[in-house]
Structure 1
Amino acid sequence: MKQSDGFGKFLEQLRGKMSLRDAAYKSGLSHAYIRDLELERNRSTNDKIKPSPDTLKKLSDAYNISYTELMIKAGYLDNQETQAALPEIDLKEVMFIELGAKEITYHQQDSKMVRNMNSLVDFSGFLDKLDEHMFKKVDNDLFVNLHHLRKYMEKEGKLFFDDQGQGKYVTMSALRQKKYHDLILRSVAANTGNSLEYNFGRKTGKSASIISIK
């Protein structure tokens, strides 16, 4: 589906008298990116841009407007869309999820399932459900199920779903790695039946490492 004409102008009208920096503070997006969305182009490359569903959710919260309405105007949903809010997928079996511009990809151990983004009429409900199943956002549009983590390579920021670190993996952003470092260590230790060992130093402070229990 095509983004409605004048969508950028519509976003600018939603912002109203709110400054770009205030909008950035409320949404968690950069003020430069918000302005690019209003102009419908990347001012550095002059390429046309379209906000992702995740970005639209942030704007809907910041501007106090229906997320579904933004999804319709951005071209992700048909105005007559009546499809159920979420696909029937057992999230307990999903290792990680990728959100694309038009599709959601659910990765399992030996397979993956793709669903149309139109299924996410209630995006906030979808995020709540991910949180209930211990999914954490580790990079832009990438969510990992902490219950499936088996190995953590800190230097590379890689998260593996097998003990040997030879199978599927995802890479965390530096910001998310810093935020979830201890939580990931605890999750890997719990999933593998190992324990955490804490070290204390004057210069380094507290640090943790996983040790095997034999």
Structure 2
Amino acid sequence: MTNALGEYLRELRGKESLRSVSERINGRLSHSYISDLEKGVSRRGTPINPTPEALKILSEAYNVKYDKLMSLAGYLDKEGHADQKQLNQKQLTVAAHIDDDVTENEMNEILNFIDFIKNRDHNK
């Protein structure tokens, strides 16, 4: 992910606090996770790749087009089509991070991403 997504999310949030955004979306994303997305890196210092589900939640929270966030995150190319190279790399990244210290929330995000991949062609 380029920092373009993080900058855009920060701009959308404006002066609203991270905690307020998290509360407004009923805690579906934590304030620390939203902060990580805005910075473009996780608390571990590694690049962060938001799941399509997280982007959907944020698109609803900020009342912006889901496709715009998907594009900024690298899931869609300039024409709005799925970027297979990017998706394949993200799948490898997800698979590499499935280990014993995955939290329940992280595992849910992984499963949501897998569902997105499996179902995207069925929803056309």
4+ residue runs over 6 A deviation: none
Cα separation, 2, equivalents of 1:32 and 1:14: 17
Match of 1:18 in 2: 16
Larger-gyration structure (1/2): 1
Aligned CA RMSD, in angstroms, stands at 2.6
Matches within 5 A, 1:8-157: 8-27=6-25, 28-43=28-43, 45-81=44-80, 98-100=111-113, 104-105=117-118, 119=121
Higher helix share: 2
Greater strand share, structure number: 1
| Higher relative contact order structure (alpha carbons within 8 Å, sequence separation ≥ 6) | 2
Percent of matched pairs sharing the same residue: 40
The equivalent residue for 1:89 is: none
Quick one: distance in 2 between partners of 1:65 and 1:49? Answer: 21
5+ residue gaps in structure 1? 84-97, 106-114, 121-125, 127-214
Q: 1:17 to 1:39 in 2, by over 3 A?
A: same
Relative to structure 1, is the Cα distance of residues 75 and 58 closer, same or farther in structure 2, using a 3 angstrom cutoff? same
> How many aligned positions are there?
93
Give the Cα separation in 2 of the matches to 1:80 and 1:104.
Answer: 19
Gap regions ≥5 residues in structure 2: 83-110
What per-residue deviation string (whole Å, max 9, x for no partner) do you get for residues 104-157 of structure 1?
23xxxxxxxxx6x5x59xxxxx6xxxxxxxxxxxxxxxxxxxxxxxxxxxxxxx
TM-score, normalised by the number of residues in structure 1 = 0.38
